[in-house]
Structure 1
Amino acid sequence: MVAALSLGAAAVYTAAANPYQAGFFPSCIYLSATGHWCPGCGGLRATHDILRGDFGAAMGMNPVVVLVILPLIVVSMAWWLLSAFGMRLPKIVVPTWVAWALPALLGVFWILRNIPALEPWLAP
């Protein structure tokens, strides 16, 4: 229950604070050190935009976070909460190919978003 409340409090703070302004959240260490976007760059702003209902802006910040990471977090948290309250749910077995595909997808996205020709579409 503490984990669920912590995640909820973090979501409320992310929705209320403005990550587009400096000072509320730390900047990306990888971007600061290299000048290149990491796969997570724009993810905080995308989360902020989703929590405020602006899905178009969220997609512009980080489409992988919007389409893959946040849905996984929401489904996992809902599944965990339902089972924590005694609901009998079938066990989820993640196929090995999925366990390999997610990091591979992030790696490909990481490379593509740093190609100058694609940067206008994939950079936050």
Structure 2
Amino acid sequence: MTTAPATPPDHRVVAERGDVRPRWRRLMLPTAAVGAVAAATVALHVRDPHVQGTWGICPTKAVFGIECPGCGGLRAVNDLTNLQLVDAASSNLLLVAAIPVLAYVFARWSLGRWRGRSWDPSERAMNWSGLTLVVVLAVFTVLRNVPAGAWLAP
């Protein structure tokens, strides 16, 4: 007599009953993410990226000679740690504008883990979010590298 191979539980069934792991285990990943972001932020506060060469150079800038969407991001984080919002926006407006969106996504993810119910956006929402991200990054990159958008360059 052969037995049927064990199949993983259906995703919908797991979502209905929730994550049965202890809360502290469910929150390990969000806690690690907060710790990593905090450590990087402290490092950027202590070692000022406004000083030429302290954090190296942008590979995109070095190879292609253009400002990538991330150029100025380290300086923007440093400015934010010094409570200089205008200077941070001047360094990388896209990063500063993305902070509330990133905070929302992190909060939804963490709250889902806290409650034991994962946040599971639809495939359509994920596709539109990904497409929107690619378009925004492309437009921002082009704009900050043409004379009309020079004010967006760090």
Q: TM-score, normalised by structure 1?
A: 0.81
Amino acid at match of 2:143: L
What do the CA deviations read for 1:34-91 (whole angstroms, capped 9, x no partner)?
Answer: 22111111111111112221110111111111102x3333333333444444476764
Larger Rg: 2
Aligned length: 122
8 Å CA contact 2:73, 2:95 repeated in 1: yes
Q: Can you give the 5+ residue segments of structure 2 that lack an aligned partner in the other structure?
A: 1-30
Q: TM-score, normalised by structure 2?
A: 0.67
Amino acid at match of 1:40: G
Taking structure 1 as reference, are residues 98 and 25 closer, same or farther at Cα in structure 2, changes over 3 Å only?
A: same
Tell me the C-alpha RMSD between the 2 structures.
2.2
1:76: which partner in 2? 105
**TM-fit CA distance, 1:9:** 1.0
Question: Percent of aligned positions with the same letter in both sequences?
Answer: 33
